[in-house]
A and B are shown apart, each in its own frame.
Chain A
Amino acid sequence: GDSVTQMEGPVTLSEEAFLTINCTYTATGYPSLFWYVQYPGEGLQLLLKATKADDKGSNKGFEATYRKETTSFHLEKGSVQVSDSAVYFCALSDLLIQGAQKLVFGQGTRLTINP
């Protein structure tokens, strides 16, 4: 079945550092790809998404490009802030019946930014 593999954490960086969190996937079809962020004690919030190859999703300074040739969707940010500390999940959409889609998640990467 479809699966998502994320870079293992935890990741600790200093403020204003460059961030990359790697994500690769295996899928039989052409899924949409997502990054979700989870702050402590909260639910998941959609950070960005891309629906087809070469699409770039971006939000709040974060970017990720859908790379079909390398089956990757790496998350990047040029200058991280303390407030970016959270757990980041990469996910793909897997087709269910009746047109709906379930999300298949990676294991999550815990990011800590030190001042």
Chain B
Amino acid sequence: NAGVMQNPRHLVRRRGQEARLRCSPMKGHSHVYWYRQLPEEGLKFMVYLQKENIIDESGMPKERFSAEFPKEGPSILRIQQVVRGDSAAYFCASSPASGLAADTQYFGPGTRLTVL
């Protein structure tokens, strides 16, 4: 059973460009979470999605950031017009909808975004 997949692992963008980060959850998991880790800090929750629905985006900046989890395909975190402060590691996690493991999130390897 493959784990959570994220790509790309490393992404370099110039200021003003767009960044697209992809996440495929573990098989059988329908809940996807995105977190951001700034250098030398802990992870901060950004958004929680289920298929075709954003459930909670309370941790996501109001401008330039968006997320989706379409019926088919991976979840996408999109950052428009990137700035240097967006440089961070972005982690995706997934969990099953129910059952004993529903409170446990499994993390992908992360995408490290560098904005020049």
Interface residues of A (CB under 8 A from B): 4, 32, 34, 36, 42-46, 49, 51, 89, 93, 96-108
Is B7 an interface residue, CB under 8 A from the partner?
Answer: no
**B contacts with A: majority SS:** strand
Alpha-carbon gap, A107 to B6, bound state (A): 23
Partner of A100, one of B48, B59, B107: B48
| Chain B, range 74-98, C-beta contacts under 8 Å to A | 91, 93, 95
Supply 5 A–B pairs (Cβ within 8 Å), ascending by A.
A43-B6, A96-B48, A98-B50, A102-B45, A108-B42
Q: Are A108 and B41 within 8 A (Cβ)?
A: yes
Give the total of B residues in contact with A, Cβ under 8 Å.
28
Q: Are B45 and A107 within 8 A (Cβ)?
A: no
Q: Are B106 and A100 within 8 A (Cβ)?
A: no
Is B52 an interface residue, CB under 8 A from the partner?
Answer: no
Q: Are A104 and B41 within 8 A (Cβ)?
A: no
Q: Are A43 and B109 within 8 A (Cβ)?
A: yes
